[in-house]
Amino acid sequence: MDLTKRQIIWGIILFGTLIGFNETVIGSFNIQYKSVILSAITLSLFSYARYFIPRIGTSLLIMAVALIFKLTDLGIQFCKPVMLILLGIGFEVFASIFINKKQFKFLGLILTCVLSSIVIFTGFALFETYIAKNAYWISEKFNDYVFVKAPLTAIASTLLSVLGIFVIKRIDSTLISSLFKKPALSQLVLGLLIAVLWIVGYGTMQY
């Protein structure tokens, strides 16, 4: 489906908002393997965005919107943007290599999710241990990120991405086409959804 520049901009803002909401609001929950869950959802949202907007560099723009969302809600002191930045850059690099702009293939998506997860989690562990020299990062935590959480994220993000896009491809195309034929309606719906997510995200983090 060929999108107009306005539709591409709306798509970037929407997916950036969804990722920011995931990283901020869901990230505030106290759950086990939170980093795996958050990263898997973020990578799957990057995948959906790449399916709809198969253009080089879009993941970086989406990442920028998500960072603004996270910064607005949490402030500079609590934002902790390193992992999100690594996810955006890592996915963009591998998506540019493996996901064909003209013909979408699941093999390229799988390679992108798997390699992004492994490289990003390893890179984050190296950053915290040897660059930031975080005293909290002992050898057990480093090994947990590299040998446990990285593979789990690779599996989870791949399943979410493949199943999600499989469902999207099966949705009646006439329904999607009809929405795009009514730009005023579609932009109103998207605008309201984005506004609600920003308001809920900001309000949630204030309490």
The predicted model scores a pTM of 0.92
Residue 61: what residue type? Answer: L
What span, in angstroms and rounded, lies between the C-alpha atoms of 177 and 189? Answer: 15
DSSP 90: H
- Cβ pair 200, 28 in contact under 8 A: no
3-state secondary structure of 9: helix
Per-residue pLDDT of the chain (207 residues; tens, 9 = 90+): 677 888 899 999 999 999 999 999 888 888 999 999 999 999 999 999 999 999 999 999 999 999 999 998 877 666 678 899 999 999 999 999 999 878 889 999 999 999 999 999 999 999 988 888 888 888 889 999 999 999 999 999 999 999 999 998 888 555 555 555 566 777 888 899 999 999 998 877 665
- Cβ pair 37, 23 in contact under 8 A: no
Nearest to 156 by CA among 25, 21, 30, 35: 35
Nearest to 43 by CA among 111, 97, 107, 137: 111
- Cβ pair 114, 158 in contact under 8 A: yes
Beta strands in the chain (DSSP E): none
Domain range list for the chain: 5-205
Q: Supply 207's token pair.
A: 């309490």
